[in-house]
Amino acid sequence: MQINSPVQIRIVDEIAIITVDSPPVNALSAAVRDGLDQAMRSALDDPMARGILLTCAGRTFIAGADISEFGKPLTGVPLHDVLDRIEGSPKPVLAAIHGTALGGGLETALVCDYRVATPSARLGLPEVALGLLPGAGGTQRLPRLIGVEAALDMMVFGKPVSASRAQAMGLIDAIMPEDGLIDGAIAYLRERLDAPVIKIRDRTVSATPALFDGFRQQNRRSFQGFRAPENIVKAVEAAVTLPFDEGMKRESDLFWELMHSRESAAQRYFFFAERLTAKVPDMPDDRPPPPISHVGVIGAGTMGGGIAMNFLNAGIPVTIVEQEATALSRGVDTIRRNYQATVDKGRLSVDQMDARMTLLTPTLDLAALDDADLVIEAVFEKMTLKQEIFARLDQVARPDAILATNTSFLDIDAIAGVTSRPEQVVGLHFFSPANIMKLLEVVRGGQTAPDIVARAMAIGRKIGKVAVLSRVCDGFIANRMMTPRMTAAQALLLEGPMPWDIDRVMMDYGFAMGPFAMLDLVGLDVIGWDAATSRSSSIVEILCEEGRWGQKKGAGYYEYDERRRPTPSPHVEQVIRDFATRAGHAQRSFTDAEIIARLLYPVVNEGAKLLEEGIAIRASDVDVALIHGYGWPLFTGGPLFWADGVGLDRIADGLEAMGIAPAPLLRSLAAAGRSLHDHVPAATPVAALA
């Protein structure tokens, strides 16, 4: 027994049971590493112990590194030394896994001679999500245990595997009952006390260069912009071609190369930024918010149906309301088709689909929402329509219900103003498709009560969204941020670059799609064009007047074949050049760097305004919103993290050269040599939401 240590040791039936007890997730902190090292020394020195069992108390096995130690000087015994001691044990060592064994936790299990797990356990090496690779021998031991292809898949994509999958691939040796893990593990180990053991490090693994080349080629697009996947592949190549110790040295070199890279810094920043969104000034944190047991959704269209699915997926009953029976039936059918598509892909069982559909109640009667805890309006973006609905809801909904609007641009205070309870009105802005996109903008009106905001943020987490708080403004955070990019892209067409030039630069930067390809996908006719008032006063108007509405018409900014594959359009190029000539614009060639500056510097400027106006709480919230809402490249960290790397003085000067006034906050931070992330708005002390 070790006093005042998160690691305890006891002897049972000739087995030294080492238990890590460091809530909440038994992370590999300095104290845990020191405790493990001391416990292993004790077990190895104890003649009563013939075998060693490593397990954890609480809800999980070792779930990885202690993230609070990231970026700090190393204290305590290095993890490599602890793992070397375990791996070098002449006594057999078994890891008994429950909950999750992730990152350094799985690497710890890999130095053990045997691994057993409960049926619900999950095992993985997710370091790639932080822009890193497994740096404690994972890239060298895992291929030797399960083969190169399986190891590459686990590490490059970072997805944990189930216990049954782990057993099938040879990652674990046996599955034990949920309530009998320790007893089963002791029995399993006792049967093997005298059995010969081949350490994983002493095994060999082989693979051809063609396998690695093929893996790279197959995943080339998903690797773009990220350094960690390629470094993982290189480390696994070392496991195949080098002796173990040399492979470990190669792994270490590749790990530290990543640790010092801008891409990894961006991904690690984003990891913490996501978690920081839940911390909101002046929110009550003294009690958990009441649960949501019934949700009403008004509108069974694309957004309403997608919103409903989020709650059905979470096991929460939903009543969905429409005005007409045909629209209601169509909406319910769409929800069922979406679930059926998931069933067809093997991601959902028929029973699960049926259970979710059973929770859905379609109706034409708004009064059916009289017992809902939360009502979300998801109708057409028309202020008078939304105000009419909220005035009726005010008469129908129960007194303590949360009344939410899914508006993406409209003034929530104007909507709340038609009710007798504006303090209970909040914005819940889902992004399309609502059942897939992770971002949920929680929009706090001028009179929205703090407890309503707290409940709205908790609702987002309940349905698996990343909730970001915004104050009221046109477009809130994400839409307002991206509007200047589209404005700049349209203006740039008149100066020389064609749509496909601009799209290519944005895709090279890391976006999945450029702005003009996106417009073609959405439809040029649905972004504000009105045939009745169109006068060929812009390129968009000319294209729409010609019937070039985008992919659905086979022509927009691009030409599209029958499979909707785009090609540059000579006709559109001529339209643009003729329009530019009539408007008196001289055209020239632009470098990629110039195009990036023209499109993205205004986005950064808008972000600075959001912070200055108090619309967003912090710069990291803006980055999270843009990454999850608009697919801003993760490896850049988001627009404001990227801007701090570029240099605020350079961006401010660039904006002035474009004739755009830099936001006062941007200019003042640049002059002081500070970053956007240094800006902290005046607020009461931060309280973490329950």
Please provide the DSSP assignment of 457-472 as one string.
HHHHHHTT-EEEEEES
Q: Which of 202, 1, 249 is nearest to 88 (CA)?
A: 202
256/254 Cα distance (integer angstroms): 6
**Per-residue exposure over 649-668, b if at least 16 CB sit within 10 Å of its own CB, e if not:** eebbebbeeeebebbebbbb
Cβ pair 497, 590 in contact under 8 A: yes
DSSP string, 17-68: EEEE--TTTT-B-HHHHHHHHHHHHHHHH-TT-SEEEEEESTT-S--SB-GG
User: Measuring CA to CA, which residue among 265, 311, 272 is closest to residue 292?
Assistant: 311
Please identify every residue annotated as catalytic.
Answer: 107, 127
**Sheet order of strands, 114-117 included:** 7-12, 15-20, 51-56, 93-97, 114-117, 174-175
Closest alpha carbon to 114 in 48, 44, 186 = 186
3-state secondary structure (DSSP) of residue 93: strand
Q: Tell me the torsion sign for CA atoms 577, 579, 580, 582.
A: positive
DSSP character string of 489-530: HHHHHTTS--HHHHHHHHHHHT-SS-HHHHHHHH-GGGSS--
CB 123 within 8 A of CB 155: no
CA angle 602/608/613 to nearest 5° reads: 125
Q: Measuring CA to CA, which residue among 686, 668, 672, 667 is closest to residue 618?
A: 686
Say which DSSP state 555 is in.
B
Q: Whole-angstrom Cα distance, residue 175 to residue 94?
A: 13
Residues 97-117: b if buried by 16+ CB within 10 A, e if exposed? bbbbbbbbbbbbbbbbbbbbb
Q: How far apart are CA 595 and CA 399, in angstroms?
A: 53
211 burial (CB, 10 Å; 0-12 / 13-18 / 19+) is middle
H helix count then E strand count, the chain: 28, 21
| Residues whose CB is less than 8 angstroms from the CB of residue 313 and which lie 6 or more positions away in sequence, other chains included | 356, 435, 463, 464
| DSSP-assigned letter for residue 286 | S
- Stated as kind and residue range, the H or E segment containing 688 is strand 686-688
Look up residue 118 and give its two tokens: 């409960």
What SS3 state is found at 650? helix
d(CA 215, CA 208): 11
297 contact partners, CB below 8 Å, separation of at least 6 = 304, 307, 308, 311, 318, 319, 320, 321, 375, 376, 378
**Angstrom distance (rounded) from CA 592 to CA 247:** 39
